[in-house]
Amino acid sequence: MTETFWDRAPRPLLGLAPMDGVTDHACRHVQKKFGRPAVVYTEFVAVERLDIGDAGMMKDFLYDESQRPIIAQIYGHTPDRFRRMAVMLCELGFDGIDINMGCPAASIVHRGSGAGLIRSPSLAQEIVKATQAGVAAWQQGATLRDDADAPAHLVAQVEARRRALPAAFQARRPIPVSVKTRIGYDAPQVQEWVPRLLESEPSAIAIHGRTLAQGYRGAASWDEIGAAAHVARQSKTLILGNGDVLSHQEALQRTLHYGLDGVLIGRGSNGNPFIFQPDTPDRSHLQDRYLHLRIALEQARVHEAWISKQNPYRFLSMRKHLGWYARAVPGASTLRRALVETSNAGEVERVLERYFAHRHAWEIAREKSVSTDSTDFTDKNLN
Ligand SMILES: Cc1cc2nc3c(=O)[nH]c(=O)nc-3n(C[C@H](O)[C@H](O)[C@H](O)COP(=O)(O)O)c2cc1C
């Protein structure tokens, strides 16, 4: 098997977990710049959107070169649609394709997609194989244009994106197919579920330590994740654990203790890209907290430039990030109230300018009051 980014990634492999409504292009851009996670995923996209010719999907598949290796995540329940979507994703230059078999949303599970696939292991296998077949067809020269059912406007957009890619990413190279799933449906069932997945030879399985029935309640079971790693030990498939990791150190400990290749971090990265690095700035230092606000502004600017410029309503999805970045700064609640009412990057900048001016004045006043109030303290400082 040819080497891919999964083989070349550092170990332990710490990646940014896909989060719908969170890990958009702007979020991934700053997470990658400041935290350098080994892999990032797009938000999940329904495979049906290719048939509908939904051009909005192209926003979900937006990325820049700094985000590589970047994995496109898709979901659905019809193998043939996965095969066709795989061709499109290869043309768009993605480094990997991931199949969502973990989403617990009732509307998705009822149709047999997302975590619903845990109940249909044969269909899950067919889907992985169909996606791999799409990649293989593309490697041998297939294009989206060959797909008679692909809407012409979408074909044109995909071709334009492909032409703008660096030559190395236009080249027909192997694109690994991976799966992201949960430990079970109603109850943990890794001993039955993981071997079925392994039969279809995905390059990696990221496994969230909760069942579908749990949703996001309770704690992730890392013992079950460890059991999945044990089951996969003889295979070439990488196993990444996922669920409730809140620090870099915890990610390393989990990887080592449970015999994993790495960990995906979702909510722990919200407003905190440094979680992927050993030298996580200590938020008890004021300077580091201010750094998070500068990152917030940078993300708002990328968001406006690429996502919300033509449609300011879309800036709403940026507001929760602003709240996360502003956590724990002095005067956080007032600042957050102001930030969550912003509608573009200019407004964010003005709120932050006011905040910094206020903090600066406050700090100067404090210094003055210290030096005039206590000669004793000043004397000590001079020594
Ligand atoms: C808001 C939100 C959106 C999510 N969207 C996706 C998604 O699109 N695809 C996916 O595979 N998982 C999705 N997840 C699940 C996460 O990738 C991850 O498995 C889960 O949050 C547990 O990891 P964490 O405790 O590190 O956040 C989502 C989770 C959250 C909180």
Distance 222 CA to ligand 1 centre (A): 16
Give residue-wise pLDDT tens across range 318-330.
999 999 999 978 8
Would you tell me how many other CB atoms lie within 10 Å of the CB of residue 280?
A: 16
> What residue spans define the domains of the chain?
5-276, 286-382
Residue nearest to atom 3 of ligand 1 (CA): 19
In ligand 1, the atom with minimum distance to the C-alpha of 102 is 11
DSSP notation for 140-167:
TT--GGG-TTS-HHHHHHHHHHHHHS-H
In ligand 1, the atom with minimum distance to the C-alpha of 269 is 26
Tokens encoding 272? 């905190």
Per-residue pLDDT at 383: 24
Maximum average pLDDT range among 301-310, 328-337, 364-373: 301-310
Residue nearest to atom 6 of ligand 1 (CA): 19
Per-residue pLDDT at 243: 98
Query: Where does the pLDDT of residue 310 fall: very low under 50, low under 70, confident under 90, or very high at 90 and above?
Result: confident
**Superfamily in which the 5-276 domain is placed by CATH:** Aldolase class I (3.20.20.70)
In ligand 1, the atom with minimum distance to the C-alpha of 268 is 26
Distance 353 CA to ligand 1 centre (A): 33
Interatomic CA distance for residues 336 and 382, integer angstroms: 38
Residue nearest to atom 15 of ligand 1 (CA): 19
Residue nearest to atom 10 of ligand 1 (CA): 18
Tell which one of 14, 19, 245, 320 to mutate to probe ligand 1, the residue whose CB is within 8 A of the most ligand atoms.
19
Per-residue pLDDT at 42: 98
In ligand 1, the atom with minimum distance to the C-alpha of 44 is 8
Residue nearest to atom 13 of ligand 1 (CA): 19
Distance 19 CA to ligand 1 centre (A): 5
Distance 267 CA to ligand 1 centre (A): 7
Check: CB of residue 222 under 8 Å from CB of residue 209. Answer: yes
Would you tell me how many other CB atoms lie within 10 Å of the CB of residue 363?
A: 12
> Which run of H or of E encompasses 370?
helix 345-373
Distance 38 CA to ligand 1 centre (A): 17
- Average pLDDT for residues 262-287, to the nearest whole number? 87
Give residue-wise pLDDT tens across range 343-375.
999 999 999 999 999 887 777 777 777 543 333
Query: Where does the pLDDT of residue 282 fall: very low under 50, low under 70, confident under 90, or very high at 90 and above?
Result: low
Residue nearest to atom 19 of ligand 1 (CA): 208
Buried b (16+ CB within 10 A) or exposed e, 20-38: bebbbbbbbbbbbebbebb
In ligand 1, the atom with minimum distance to the C-alpha of 100 is 11
CA angle, 333 then 338 then 342, to 5°:
140
Distance 324 CA to ligand 1 centre (A): 16
Give residue-wise pLDDT tens across range 80-109.
999 999 999 999 999 999 999 999 999 999
In ligand 1, the atom with minimum distance to the C-alpha of 265 is 26
Buried b (16+ CB within 10 A) or exposed e, 137-165: bbeeebbbeebeebbeebbebbeeebeee
In ligand 1, the atom with minimum distance to the C-alpha of 206 is 19
Residue matched to tokens 């100067």: 364
Distance 366 CA to ligand 1 centre (A): 43
Query: Which residues, in sequence order, are CB contacts of 371 under 8 Å at separation 6+?
Result: 378
Per-residue pLDDT at 375: 30
The binding-site residues of ligand 1, defined as CB within 6 angstroms of any ligand atom, are 17-22, 43-44, 73, 100, 102-103, 180, 208, 242-245, 265-268
Share of the chain above pLDDT 90, in %: 86
The residues with which 181 forms a beta bridge, in sequence order, are 101, 207
Determine phi and psi for 210, rounding to 5 degrees: -130, 155
In ligand 1, the atom with minimum distance to the C-alpha of 242 is 23
Residue 243: name the closest of 212, 222, 215 by CA: 222
Per-residue pLDDT at 369: 74
Would you tell me how many other CB atoms lie within 10 Å of the CB of residue 343?
A: 15
Residue nearest to atom 14 of ligand 1 (CA): 19
Tell which one of 20, 75, 212, 240 to mutate to probe ligand 1, the residue whose CB is within 8 A of the most ligand atoms.
20
